[in-house]
Structure 1
Amino acid sequence: MQGFLNLHKPFGLTSHDCVARVRRLLKLKRVGHGGTLDPAATGVLPIAIGRATRLLQYLSHEKTYRAKIRFGITTSTDDLAGEILTQAPAAHLSLAQLQRALPQFQGTIEQIPPSYSAIQVGGKRLYELARSGQAVTAPKRTVEVHRIEILAWHPGEFPELELDIACGSGTYIRSIARDLGAVLGIGGTLAALIRTSSSGFHLKDSLTLDQLEQQITANCFGPLPPALALQHLPLITLPLPQANDWQQGKRLVWEELPDSKQADLTLLLSTPCRLQTSNGAFLGIGQVTETQSGKLLIPKLVWS
């Protein structure tokens, strides 16, 4: 069995817990996930099954979230799972203030990850250092936030803001909540988080662990095909003779392939591409490389 599972991660479980549960249900050892979700977060967690674990490195890094931020509170973890550090009513906060502050969190920004996170400093994860009482600040990182849109505003003593956020890999929504509260001078923490899409998988199509177990019991579970998770990669179609050579791990002369005449060579020289046969069967991952003898399509991963 090989392919992908679009899992709806439940509240309270780590991403590793989910992988372990899927392993037990499918009775398979080769299971991995793409993109960690905090235990308090729910939503899309891409799971690779069997040989598809080799494809995790090629998944898209784009993600979307639905986040709820609570103002007037700061915590040790930058979400409600942590110890409350400060708490003061913020009923004076207005939607207009938020609308003026949010644009600075969109685009290419720098952020400091939460103290309780899986990032490693000195060979140890930050949450391990924090739990042992060591105060360590993670180094700043540059991340991409493509879109922030306000979904709902709930005024009150400790007002809450709901946001739709589209971002790239490595973005911490908890950090956005914390930093937005700091900019406003009232403090903020993440109250709830749902990942609505990740690597081309969407929440509306996801399966819960219970639904997965029911499908396995009914013998009707089938993993999603690998090519479905790789739609963001440029596509190269190989005729049968070249497809056979490819499956044997051979390098192919680029100029001799049909796609060489209309493909964007600049793009293919800088990024991996997905390959398929003329009838749509997935062949693997390759990349066009310039050599002294000409341009070659080099196998990165052969799927057979």
Structure 2
Amino acid sequence: MHAPRTRVQRRPVHGVLLLDKPLGLSSNQALQKAKWLLRAEKAGHTGTLDPLATGVLPLCFGAATKFSQLHLDADKTYVATARLGVKTSTGDAEGDVIAERPVSVTPEDLARVEAQFTGPLRQVPPMHSALKKDGKALYEYARQGIEVERAARDVVIHSLKVAAMDTPSDIRITARVSKGTYIRTLGEDIGEALGCGAHLTSLRRTATGDFTESQCITLEALEAMSEEERLAQLLPAEALVAGHSRVTLGVEDAARFLSGLRRRGQWADASEVAVFGSEPQAFLGTAHITANELIPGRLLNPIEIQQILLNATSCETTP
């Protein structure tokens, strides 16, 4: 007989965990593992990484999930290895080989494709992706051998470095890109431009927005910690709005703002504002300012704010 599984007692957890996603797990599998370790009631991530990709995956818990869209839209930086001369059905090492061609690439060729693929581009999403058509992921169609027409997307490659590696058939691609960019597609397109085709053999996200791999923790490290140490790894929800303008409200204005009312003040127009209360000092949510009016956006509720303040007090008093 199997021993009965212990039921995890969930609790309100608020904040952002910067996870170094391991190879082989989907983003959702990594999220569920971290959620279980933190015993969190509510969680979400800020954009998927393929199971074959590793690196920066911000996980949002509790109140922080309200602001996860901000990092879905953030620029991302990736480092990938591509194998030249071999095309696969998926654009990565998981697929079947569908074409092989000889490789003859010079440093001048690499410089040429760097220039060619830097800036605004139109990309056709790969069939092996989570993009949905008629409620079904494209990779589900692909597994059935069905090719679905996909509209090209406008993306931006902000910076690109393509470098030779120790083996003549491998190149390293380092790219900072806009949201919606598929690095597998970029690797395949670079391979075609070099005249030999290519597929990715490794992919790592090294940054998303202002968050970098040096700030991340692995699941193994998190698992080895005590519950208090795990909670201490969380960044506050306002870490997701670090680049916003900042407005601090007094007690009465803060209460009215939290109820969804606009506030008037001598503020310059701003499209992205992080709003804080002064007594107690607490993050209240986001807003924008038009014609001296602070207009609420995504707001925390009073219970969430109380829980965050209580957790902060508990952490300060824990020896």
TM-score (normalizing by structure 1): 0.87
Aligned to 1:196: 206
Do the aligned residues in 2 keep the contact of 1:25 with 1:216 (CA within 8 Å)?
Answer: no
Aligned to 1:252: 263
1:272 match: secondary structure: strand
Aligned: 1:142 with 2:154:
yes
Aligned: 1:298 with 2:295:
yes
Do the aligned residues in 2 keep the contact of 1:32 with 1:49 (CA within 8 Å)?
Answer: yes
State the AA in 1 paired with 2:205.
R
1:221 match: secondary structure: helix
1:28 match: secondary structure: coil
Q: Which runs of 5+ in 1 are unaligned?
A: none
Do the aligned residues in 2 keep the contact of 1:201 with 1:229 (CA within 8 Å)?
Answer: no
Do the aligned residues in 2 keep the contact of 1:276 with 1:284 (CA within 8 Å)?
Answer: yes
Q: Any idea what the Cα deviations from partners look like across 1:32-58, whole Å, max 9, x if unmatched?
A: 000110110000001001121111123
Q: Count the aligned residue pairs.
A: 286
Matched-pair identity in %: 34
**Farther-moved stretch of structure 1 (97-106 vs 233-242):** 233-242
Aligned to 1:39: 51
Aligned: 1:72 with 2:85:
yes
Distance 1:34 1:163, change over 3 A: same
Q: Any idea what the Cα deviations from partners look like across 1:257-286, whole Å, max 9, x if unmatched?
A: 4xx1xx3x2xx2xx3321124586322111
Aligned: 1:102 with 2:92:
no
> Shift in Å at residue 9 of structure 1?
0.3
> Shift in Å at residue 156 of structure 1?
4.4
Aligned to 1:284: 285
Counterpart selection for 2:176 from 143, 166, 175: 166
Counterpart selection for 1:177 from 158, 175, 187: 187
> Shift in Å at residue 138 of structure 1?
2.2
> Shift in Å at residue 202 of structure 1?
0.9
State the AA in 2 paired with 1:65.
Y
Structure-1 separation of matches of 2:15 and 2:123: 34
Aligned to 2:143: 131
Do the aligned residues in 1 keep the contact of 2:88 with 2:199 (CA within 8 Å)?
Answer: yes
> Shift in Å at residue 75 of structure 1?
0.7
Q: CA RMSD in A?
A: 2.0
**Farther-moved stretch of structure 1 (30-39 vs 53-62):** 53-62
Aligned: 1:206 with 2:216:
yes
Q: Any idea what the Cα deviations from partners look like across 1:173-218, whole Å, max 9, x if unmatched?
A: 1011001111122101112111001132110110101111222456
State the AA in 2 paired with 1:230.
V
Q: How does 1:207-226 map to 2 (within 5 A)?
A: 207-217=217-227, 219-222=229-232, 223-226=234-237
Structure-2 separation of matches of 1:136 and 1:102: 30
Distance 1:140 1:84, change over 3 A: same
Q: Any idea what the Cα deviations from partners look like across 1:44-90, whole Å, max 9, x if unmatched?
A: 00100112111112335111111111110111111111111112331
TM-score (normalizing by structure 2): 0.84
State the AA in 1 paired with 2:294.
L
> Shift in Å at residue 147 of structure 1?
0.5
Aligned to 1:154: 165
Distance 1:117 1:236, change over 3 A: same
Aligned: 1:274 with 2:274:
yes
State the AA in 1 paired with 2:55.
G
Structure-2 separation of matches of 1:238 and 1:58: 23
Q: Any idea what the Cα deviations from partners look like across 1:127-169, whole Å, max 9, x if unmatched?
A: 000001112242210111110024x412645x11112211111
State the AA in 2 paired with 1:99.
A
Do the aligned residues in 2 keep the contact of 1:148 with 1:164 (CA within 8 Å)?
Answer: yes
1:281 match: secondary structure: strand
Aligned: 1:12 with 2:12:
no
State the AA in 1 paired with 2:262.
R
Structure-2 separation of matches of 1:148 and 1:162: 10
